[in-house]
A and B are shown apart, each in its own frame.
Chain A
């Protein structure tokens, strides 16, 4: 199993450009989520999905869109990049926390994004 994969690993954008961060998992996890990590702030939830076709906002959703058309993929779209979106982005996935199944989140390797 590849686990959770993210592409690209690094990206530099200019203010106003748009782009999509890709995330895929091969563990048949129901739950997927996007976090951003900034120095001293820990990981903050951007958007999450509890299954194909279902998404919801997290703590810091402004400026980002998501969709979940398949169980495996959960792309994050930056609509019009701003310097405040310079960050490290992590995708994570887990099973739905049913009784008897561990709901540990597995993380991708992260994407380091710089917006100039």
Chain B
């Protein structure tokens, strides 16, 4: 079974609008970390945001926020005020703690296209 599920293969959004990219995860480990990465067409992997399982508040980094719903095991990425440069692949990843290798497992990604 997949540990990280991204159900949206592709998303479209109008410039300046907000968009939510979905991510659900599966773990029985009480200590884990959740990451989002951006991969533009140039191919590099760019770290966006991190949420720890014990963090009480949702993580935010500039226009990026992580909507962390622990009971639902979801960690959705919200991009506010989309820009053309946000067009890219977005990957959700989870690092398990005590019961895992501490090496993140990735979802299959969501392709985001921002329209002018």
Q: Name the residue on B nearest A4 (C-beta).
A: B45
Task: Report chain A residues within 8 Å CB of B9.
Answer: 40
On whether the beta carbons of B101 and A96 are closer than 8 Å, the reply is no
Dominant secondary structure of chain B at its interface with chain A: loop
Task: Report chain B residues within 8 Å CB of A88.
Answer: 43
Dominant secondary structure of chain A at its interface with chain B: strand
Task: Report chain A residues within 8 Å CB of B102.
Answer: 31, 50, 96-97, 103
Q: Name the residue on B nearest A32 (C-beta).
A: B103
Q: How many residues of A contact B (CB 8 A)?
A: 27
B68: interface (CB < 8 Å) = no
Shortest CB-to-CB span from A31 to chain B, Å, is: 7
Q: How many residues of B contact A (CB 8 A)?
A: 24
On whether the beta carbons of B106 and A106 are closer than 8 Å, the reply is no
A42-B91 contact, Cβ under 8 Å, with A97-B102, A103-B33: yes
Task: Report chain B residues within 8 Å CB of A102.
Answer: 50
Complex alpha-carbon distance, A58 and B108, angstroms: 17
* Of A31, A35, A42, A106, the contact of B47 (CB 8 Å cutoff): A106
On whether the beta carbons of B44 and A110 are closer than 8 Å, the reply is yes
On whether the beta carbons of A104 and B35 are closer than 8 Å, the reply is yes
A33: interface (CB < 8 Å) = yes
Shortest CB-to-CB span from A8 to chain B, Å, is: 14
* Of A31, A104, A106, A110, the contact of B103 (CB 8 Å cutoff): A31
Q: Name the residue on A nearest B91 (C-beta).
A: A42
Complex alpha-carbon distance, A50 and B104, angstroms: 13
Hey, which bits of chain B sit against chain A, CB under 8 A? 4, 6, 9, 33, 35, 37, 43-45, 47, 50, 91, 93, 95, 97, 101-109
| 10 A–B contacts, CB within 8 A, in A order | A42-B6, A43-B91, A44-B106, A50-B101, A58-B101, A90-B45, A92-B45, A104-B50, A109-B43, A110-B44
Hey, which bits of chain A sit against chain B, CB under 8 A? 31, 33, 35, 40-45, 48, 50, 56, 58-59, 88, 90, 92, 96-97, 102-107, 109-110
